[in-house]
Amino acid sequence: MRIPFIAGNWKMHKTPEESIKLAKEIDNFLQENQEIDVDVLICPPYTSLYLLNKELKDRKVLLGAQNMSYEDEGAYTGEISPLMLKDMDIEYVILGHSERRQFFSENDEIINKKIKKAIEHNLKPILCVGETLEERESGKDKEKVKNQIIADLENIDKEKAADITIAYEPIWAIGTGKTASSDDANDMIKYIRSILKELYDEETSETMRIQYGGSVKPHNIKELMNKSDIDGALVGGASLKSEDFNKIIDF
């Protein structure tokens, strides 16, 4: 049985002090509601990770990074290495987000290298995949997602793949207020699971968790989570207010 997995991607929001306040509100909610059987992750900016690791002792909330380099160290100005993340007890890292692909020209080859490096250092990747509105309307959405998954997971064996989470994020639904219908989201996620079965085997495909991301809000989370193959959500804007994010956690 796959445990539901709700992750908040704070993107380029929250100063360190604001991050502490928000993280504590979320963690306190989890501490007060121990019956909620959900893995909860927050991915603040790099500038907040060290403080949060120090401030949140015996935390229920998991800590993740929004990106990382595929190099351990070196002359890579502005980059953050997996060694730096591990030293702060970071457990997860988001890789291949559409904004990294779109604005920072990350391709599948780069993302594949990052996933391999994350696994090497026992960081758990959340691999983001998804199609544009044009690709969806032209019927190329599944082809696009399949090609991304095959390329991004190239030469990663099933034992290592089991710790990877896939986040299906249709690009046209990120930050736009548009959301794929729960049926459409589940259909694509079920398709992704079939790709994982082809790449690995049924056991691995049934073990790997697949999230939906794209304008997830308190009002639509329950419908999404009631679907057969959706294991959680990668939440953007709604993760920046504890009131909203806690409602999503307690779907």
Per-residue model confidence (pLDDT) at position 174: 77
pLDDT score, position 138: 93
The residue-averaged pLDDT of 25-50 equals: 97
Confidence of residue 176 (pLDDT cuts 50, 70, 90): confident
Burial degree of 248 (CB within 10 A; 0-12, 13-18, 19+) = buried
Confidence of residue 37 (pLDDT cuts 50, 70, 90): very high
Mean pLDDT to the nearest integer, 45-71: 96
Q: What does the pLDDT read at residue 180?
A: 82
Q: Region 67-78: what's the mean pLDDT?
A: 98
| Residue 68 pLDDT greater than 90, yes or no | yes
This model's pTM is above 0.75: yes
Show the domains of the chain with their CATH numbers. Answer: 5-249 (3.20.20.70)
- When pLDDT is averaged across residues 16-22 and rounded to a whole number, the result is 98
Share of the chain above pLDDT 90, in %: 92
pLDDT for 227: 96
Binning pLDDT at 50, 70 and 90, where does residue 172 land? confident
How many CA atoms, within 13 angstroms, populate the side-chain half-sphere of residue 219? 4
Contact 40, 30 (CB under 8 A): yes
What is the predicted pLDDT for the residue at 178?
Answer: 73
Higher pLDDT, 175 or 153: 153
The model's pLDDT over 150-169, given as tens digits with 9 standing for 90+, comes to 999 999 999 999 999 999 99
| Amino acid letter, 217 | K
Catalytic residues: 97, 169
128: amino acid identity, one letter: C
Mean pLDDT of 214-222: 94
Kindly tell me if the per-residue pLDDT of 190 is higher than 80: yes
Q: How far apart are CA 31 and CA 132, in angstroms?
A: 39
All residues at 6 or more sequence positions from 152 whose CB lies less than 8 Å from its CB, including other chains: 96, 108, 111, 112, 115, 127, 129
Burial (Cβ within 10 Å: 0-12, 13-18, ≥19) of residue 55: middle
Instruction: Give the integer Cα–Cα distance in Å for 96 and 67.
Output: 8
**pLDDT (mean) for 230-238:** 97
